[in-house]
Structure 1
Amino acid sequence: MIDLASTMIGEGRGMDLMPREADPEAPMTAYRYHSLCAYMGDDDMFSSDHSDDQLRTRLGHMSSTPCQVIFSMADEYVPEYVDKKALVERLCRALGGAEKVEIEWGNHSLSNRVEEAVKVIVNFIKTEGPKGWDDPWS
């Protein structure tokens, strides 16, 4: 499917839809499919097969911005062979020491752990967010 997407993009048909079997869940353009699925595609940001240098190149620009990595430990899109704990550590390092949050049993969208996700996000904003006159929590 990646080869097909590449061919379509090369023919100027990047905005055309891929065949249904590329992703039975949702229609996807050739460009979007290639961006997500091709090695080092435009949106291939968090893959476990990237080297530490590649992750830093892709994510390092955020190293001076307080951020957190919220990782769904039961993400249905992460293959079983991936060491999720090691990956989240590598992502945090690539981001210059981002706060790590592992949500056990969380699916990709955290739709099964919404309350837990909201709590960690709000706590992060309270800790790392605006200070002084524009602080909405004071």
Structure 2
Amino acid sequence: MGDDDMFSSDLTDDQLKTRLGHMSQTPCQVIFSMADEYVPEYVDKKALVERLCKAMGGAEKVEIEWGNHSLSNRIQEAVQAIVDFVKTEGPKGWDDPWH
């Protein structure tokens, strides 16, 4: 991996909104690995995840502390966040597998 910023931290808020704003009508969750080894050190991860969620129209933010890029060291936390999100934001009125 080079020094390229592949995480959009160099984009303006307007550019992020242009790219992600179409998701504002869909319930979304952003899970961010706060110890992602591929995010350059100079990137403010907390600010970036906040900007991404805002650009998506208020997506739910989940910050996994000490999580690596694949979250392989925080699987349980990641899965629980996803399950909680689906329970809250998922379809209603059909056979809910969690009830």
Structure 1 counterpart of 2:98: 137
Are 1:50 and 2:8 an aligned pair? Answer: no
Deviation at 1:133, TM superposition (A): 2.1
Are 1:125 and 2:86 an aligned pair? Answer: yes
Structure 2 counterpart of 1:96: 57
Structure 2 counterpart of 1:15: none
Cα separation, 2, equivalents of 1:122 and 1:60: 24
Runs of 4+ displaced beyond 6 Å: none
Structure 2 counterpart of 1:76: 37
Q: Secondary structure of the equivalent of 1:117? A: helix
Instruction: Say how many residue pairs are matched.
Output: 97
Structure 2-normalised TM-score?
Answer: 0.90
Deviation at 1:136, TM superposition (A): 2.7
Structure 1-normalised TM-score?
Answer: 0.66
Larger Rg: 1
**Structure 2 unaligned blocks of 5 or more:** none
Cα separation, 1, equivalents of 2:19 and 2:36: 21
**Structure 1 unaligned blocks of 5 or more:** 1-22, 24-36
Alpha-carbon contact 1:69-1:99 (below 8 Å) kept: yes
Between 1 and 2, higher relative CO (CA 8 Å, sep ≥ 6) is seen in 2
The CA deviation string for residues 18-55 of structure 1, in whole angstroms up to 9 with x for no partner, is xxxxx5xxxxxxxxxxxxx5x8xxxx5x4100000111
Cα separation, 1, equivalents of 2:62 and 2:56: 14
Superposition CA RMSD, Å: 1.5
Alpha-carbon contact 1:73-1:107 (below 8 Å) kept: yes
**Identical residues among aligned pairs (%):** 82
Q: Which amino acid aligns with 1:117?
A: A
